[in-house]
Amino acid sequence: MGAGKSTKSKEIAVNKNAVLLSEDEWLSSLYPNQIESFEDYLKFSAQIKPLVKKHVQNILSVGTDVVMDFPANTQGQRKWFLELVLDVNSSHQLIYLNLTNE
C-alpha cells in the first residue's frame, strides 16, 4: 500500500494507450463497505479473480494492451498473472517498484 502502484499504472496505461484495470476500483464497486479486514480483502479478491481473468484475456485476445493495477507481491499472485497471459499466448511485462519501507 502507498508504494505508487496506482500512479505508475495510470502513467503506463496513458503512455501505451492501454486499458487500465484497478483491483481497488473493482472491489470498491462490487463490494462497497464490505471490506473491513485483510481477510475480507482476500475473500473478495479471490471472488473476482475468475471474472477479471476472463475479461483481461478477452481484451488481450483482440490485441488491446491491458495494464493491471493489482498486487503481485506473492508467488501465488505472480503465478496467476503468468497463467492469465500464457493461456492466451500474450506478451507481458511485470513492473517492479523497488522502494524502501519509508
- pLDDT tens, position by position, 24-43: 999 999 999 999 999 999 99
pLDDT at 1: 66
Residue 69 phi, psi dihedral angles, 5° rounding: -90, 75
- Structural contact between residues 68 and 10, judged by C-beta atoms closer than 8 angstroms: no
Measure the CA–CA gap between 20 and 93, rounded to whole angstroms. 14
More reliable by pLDDT, 91 or 101: 91
Domain map of the chain by residue range? Answer: 5-86
Give the phi and the psi of residue 19 in degrees, each rounded to 5: -75, 130
Q: What does the mean pLDDT of the chain come to?
A: 93
pLDDT of residue 65: 96
Report the share of the chain in percent with pLDDT over 70: 99
Q: Which pLDDT tens digit goes with each residue over 35-83?
A: 999 999 999 999 999 999 999 999 999 999 999 999 888 999 999 999 9
